[in-house]
Amino acid sequence: MDELNAKAEDPSLWNKPEAAQALMRERNRLDASVKAVLELESELADVRELVELGEADGDDALVEEAAQTLAALKRRAETAELEALLSGEADGNDAFVEIHAGAGGTESQDWAAMLQRMYLRWAQARGFKADLIEEHPGDEAGIKSATVLIKGENAYGWMKTESGVHRLVRISPFDSSARRHTSFASVWVYPQVDETIKIEINDKDVRTDTYRASGAGGQHINKTDSAVRLTHEPTGIVVQCQNERSQHKNRARAWDMLRARLYELELQKRDEEAQAAEDSKSDIGWGHQIRSYVLQPYQMVKDLRTNVETSNTQGVLDGDLDAFMAASLAARVGGEGEEAADEA
């Protein structure tokens, strides 16, 4: 903080606006982290005094209140500890979240829509902002695919743990015989690239297609080819945007997404785990899932990477994902630490 404050006071800092903005963002991030720790220390001291006061007066209710406050402080401290470990190059960035329905028609498309709702609820609970970039509705219900941009501190650091195939088991609301169905949908997360990360793309390598944005119709139906699809031919990466009203804005957003995908591809080359996740993305089915959501014949959500599970299935589908994310993140960080120790 002292180093960044000294740089912030340098009059020549704003001669390079992009570098200045990056420095100010880093200073604000550290400032928030320092304040969070100081608040925990202050509240912990208050709890100690409360316990001493309750014990001195024989006030069991006061001691119990202090114990509940202490438990809440412990949860906050554990979350802060994990966030402090989000040290990846892009962990602090916003996150693009792609959701694709697997084979299975309406059932899988409905499951994909349920996942989209789950992540929107999670983002809302954290105070993050979510922008819908593109969405292809299902034939009868749900969605075939969607892309959402989640904006918030460490959005990518948290959301990257969700990449993989998600499996749902339930009694199908679309089956007149009320049989149990298994559905799959894939989630892929990649960071939004900011101005501090330079990605060079040869225009000749990118094919641009325009098409009419899908919508509900009526008097506001899109009558022009405003939606944009970009295909990076050397890698086969395809991105598309249809949420903006003009083709110009959709094109700009699609280029942002393409730069982000290519940056993520570079990160994968240095991260074997992320590469394995990318490989599994090609098959949305058995043997590739990271988490199972069982609604019938019993209630259970289980992460197959960390074995974290809960019977509160409705809470999870309403966005209560922190326990799964925290366990997966801790496992990642632990693995990286073991690798570093082995190398040493």
Residue 219, pLDDT > 70, answer no
**20-24, 69-73, 97-101, 299-303: range with lowest mean pLDDT:** 20-24
pLDDT tens by residue, 223-256: 567 888 999 989 889 998 887 778 888 888 888 8
Residue 68, pLDDT > 70, answer yes
Contact 207, 231 (CB under 8 A): yes
Q: What is the pLDDT of residue 221?
A: 45
Extract the runs of DSSP E, i.e. beta strands, from the chain.
95-101, 129-137, 143-151, 164-171, 180-191, 206-211, 227-232, 237-241, 289-294, 300-303, 309-310
In this structure, how many other beta carbons lie within 10 angstroms of the beta carbon of residue 121?
Answer: 17
Q: Are strands 289-294 and 164-171 parallel, antiparallel or unpaired?
A: parallel
Report angle CA 56, 60, 62 to the nearest 5 degrees: 80
Helix axis angle for 60-84 and 322-343, nearest 10°, is 50
Q: What is the pLDDT of residue 295?
A: 95
Q: pLDDT class for 73, splitting at 50, 70, 90?
A: very high
Q: pLDDT class for 183, splitting at 50, 70, 90?
A: very high
Q: In the CATH scheme, what is the code of domain 2-84?
A: 1.20.58.410
Write down the mean pLDDT value for the chain: 84
pLDDT tens by residue, 12-36: 888 888 788 878 878 887 888 889 8
Residue of 191, 216, 243 whose CA lies nearest to 137: 216
Q: What is the pLDDT of residue 29?
A: 79
Residue 96, pLDDT > 90, answer yes
pLDDT tens by residue, 285-319: 555 689 999 998 899 999 999 999 999 999 999 99
Q: What is the pLDDT of residue 341?
A: 41
- The tally of CA atoms less than 13 A away on the side-chain side of residue 77 is 13
Q: What is the pLDDT of residue 343?
A: 46
As to burial, measured by CB atoms within 10 angstroms (0-12 exposed, 13-18 middle, 19+ buried), residue 160 is buried
Residue 331, pLDDT > 90, answer no
Average pLDDT, stretch 43-63?
A: 91
For residue 105 the two structure tokens come to: 């028609």
Residue 76, pLDDT > 50, answer yes
Q: What is the pLDDT of residue 187?
A: 95
For residue 175 the two structure tokens come to: 């089956």
Q: In the CATH scheme, what is the code of domain 91-344?
A: 3.30.70.1660
Residue of 299, 290, 343 whose CA lies nearest to 317: 299
Q: What is the pLDDT of residue 316?
A: 97
CA distance 93 to 241: 20
Residue of 322, 321, 246 whose CA lies nearest to 83: 322
Percentage of residues in the chain having pLDDT higher than 70: 85
For residue 110 the two structure tokens come to: 């409905």
Residue of 172, 105, 116, 113 whose CA lies nearest to 139: 105
Residue 192, pLDDT > 80, answer yes
Residue of 316, 293, 289 whose CA lies nearest to 169: 293
Q: Are strands 95-101 and 143-151 parallel, antiparallel or unpaired?
A: antiparallel
Q: What is the pLDDT of residue 285?
A: 55
Contact 293, 321 (CB under 8 A): no
Q: What is the pLDDT of residue 85?
A: 73
Amino acid identity, position 82: L
Residue of 271, 268, 244 whose CA lies nearest to 256: 244
Q: pLDDT class for 201, splitting at 50, 70, 90?
A: confident
Domain ranges of the chain: 2-84, 91-344
pLDDT tens by residue, 247-274: 888 888 888 888 888 887 877 766 655 4
**19-23, 105-109, 151-155, 284-288: range with lowest mean pLDDT:** 284-288
Residue of 300, 299, 305 whose CA lies nearest to 325: 305
Question: How is residue 14 annotated by DSSP?
Answer: G
As to burial, measured by CB atoms within 10 angstroms (0-12 exposed, 13-18 middle, 19+ buried), residue 223 is exposed
